[in-house]
Amino acid sequence: MRESTGGRGRWYPVVVIVVLLAFLAAGTANNLVRNPQPRLVADGVPGHSAQHTESSLSGGGEQYDDLISHALADLDALTLPSGATLAGWDGPWRYVWPRDASFVAAARCSIGQYDEALKVLSFLDRVRPATGRWEARYTETGALVDDGRQPQLDGSGWVLWATWFCRAGSRYWELVRESADQIVAELGPDGLPGPSSDYWERPETQVTLGTVAPLLTGLRSAVLMATEQNRQAEAARWRSALDKLTEATDRVFGPDYPRTPARATSFVEPGVDPIQLGGGADAIVTILGPPFAPARAVVSTAIDRALAVLTQPNGGVTPGENWRADGVSWTPQTALFALSAAARGDHATADNLLTWLDRHRTSTGALPEKVNRDLEPAGEAPLSWTAALVVLAGTALQNALPTPG
């Protein structure tokens, strides 16, 4: 009996390990089925040759001349004569997102292409909502897209920032006033807006940092534009809302600034920073720091922590900790961290991320939407948001970008 029992004892750990490995293998296989390797949908704009004059480059350094030159050429191809800037050339990307277009306008202005930027802002001005939230996206003619996507409040923040960045507040004052007042109207007694879809493009049941961060940037920009034009009533109204939203953001989201408010905070011991539970890191935390807001140590720490959490095995960045766990990197979020690092003076991190983006362009030299687990470009290429962010990051490596504060 004793020998028999001992035999079972020796085999038991092996059996447990085999069973656990089987479960892990099944889980991995199931994840691959649910999240298959994405592939490249399109590569380049048909009939477009990515050539750009040297005088148009941002001065991002010889290392990135070709990367930035190609990004600018792709923005040229994706911007129609009407000023409508497409997110991508094909299918579901062939629309104008206020968010993407705002970054394109800012990228143009960062290198002195003001005429091209004003075309983009003029299109946004033509489609602006007189009341209510910006739509998630518009057709190239300015029509609404009835595909079930909810209006997105973050648009009010993005267009305000881009308008300020391009010093165009007086030209587009009604756009500024309506967008800023919409933000004010959305703030509740707790100082925060209600739930809204954001760049994750999905319905939300909680307020997200993806909405709050752009609104903070937008209000800062609106206050500056109103002050410059001596519109004291608007400046005071928007400053009050900014203070209210800032306090609420720090109280509810700080100190880690996750995607959604943490469920709880663990206080370990005196002198040790509290640890937030739940919420999940989100790449949008970058919008709380330069070049979108004045630098703060607590925010820089949160940005660095988020980059460490969100970096994938393939070297790029995923949008969020609670995004699907498929090992795929998204180039807009990778470029956001590159821009943040460059603007905060962390040139080593910015160089590392820009080099990674440069190495994973498509065969035509375009920046794709994603890079899959096998380090292959995937999704739409080129993508205007990524191209604009790369231009901004390259510029920030050479010259300080204006920061609303």
Final residue of a structural domain among 230, 253, 276: 253
pLDDT in tens, the chain (405 residues): 333 445 555 555 554 455 555 554 454 445 545 568 999 999 989 878 765 544 344 445 578 999 999 999 999 999 999 999 999 999 999 999 999 999 999 999 999 999 999 999 999 999 999 889 999 999 999 999 998 899 999 999 999 999 999 999 999 999 999 999 999 999 999 999 999 999 999 999 999 999 999 999 999 999 999 999 999 999 999 999 999 999 999 999 999 999 999 876 555 556 555 556 668 999 999 999 999 999 999 999 999 999 999 999 999 999 999 999 999 999 999 999 999 999 999 999 999 999 999 999 999 999 999 999 999 999 999 999 999 999 999 999 999 999 999
Do residues 246 and 118 share a domain? yes
Residue 277 pLDDT: 65
Give dist(CA 181, CA 237) in Å, integer: 9
Do residues 316 and 356 share a domain? yes
Do residues 55 and 172 share a domain? no
Give dist(CA 342, CA 142) in Å, integer: 34
Domain-located, residue 150: yes
Tokens of 135: 């739509």
Range of the domain at 278: 42-78+264-405
Residue 67 pLDDT: 97
- Which residue reads 């629309």 in tokens? 95
Do residues 390 and 334 share a domain? yes
Give dist(CA 333, CA 199) in Å, integer: 11
Domain of 106: which CATH number?
Answer: 1.50.10.10
Tokens of 106: 């800012």
* Residue 219: HSE in the Cβ half-sphere, 13 Å Cα cutoff: 25
Tokens of 257: 């600034």
Give the strand order in the sheet containing 329-330: 329-330, 370-371, 377-378
Residues facing residue 329 across a β-bridge: 371
Do residues 27 and 57 share a domain? no
Helix H, strand E, coil C: the string for 95-142 is: CECHHHHHHHHHHHHHCCCHHHHHHHHHHHHHHCCCCCCECCCECCCC
CB 144 within 8 A of CB 135: yes
Residue 350 pLDDT: 98
Residue 278 pLDDT: 67
Domain-located, residue 377: yes
pTM, 2 dp: 0.89
Domain-located, residue 46: yes
80 φ, ψ (degrees, to nearest 5): -80, 165
Q: How many residues does the chain have?
A: 405
Per the structure, how many domains does the chain have?
3
Do residues 221 and 338 share a domain? no
Domain-located, residue 298: yes
Preceding peptide of 294 cis, ω within 30°: no
Do residues 68 and 20 share a domain? no
Domain-located, residue 83: no
Do residues 369 and 227 share a domain? no
CB 366 within 8 A of CB 74: yes
Return the percent helix, strand and coil in the chain, to nearest 5: 50, 5, 40
Do residues 218 and 346 share a domain? no
- Three-class SS of residue 73? helix
Using CA atoms, how far residue 281 sits from 53, 154, 192, 370, in Å, is: 40, 18, 19, 19
Give dist(CA 20, CA 361) in Å, integer: 39
Final residue of a structural domain among 227, 253, 279: 253
Final residue of a structural domain among 223, 253, 283: 253
Domain-located, residue 84: no
Residue 61 pLDDT: 58
Strands 329-330 and 264-266: unpaired
Do residues 269 and 371 share a domain? yes
Give dist(CA 206, CA 203) in Å, integer: 9
Domain-located, residue 259: no
Domain-located, residue 86: no
Residue 279 pLDDT: 87
- Three-class SS of residue 330? strand
Tokens of 44: 């380049």
Nearest one of 334, 394, 383, 389 to 90, comparing CA atoms:
383
Do residues 378 and 299 share a domain? yes
Residue 171 pLDDT: 98
- Which residue reads 């148009």 in tokens? 56
Give 396: exposed, middle or buried? Use CB within 10 Å, 0-12, 13-18, 19+.
buried
Do residues 393 and 274 share a domain? yes
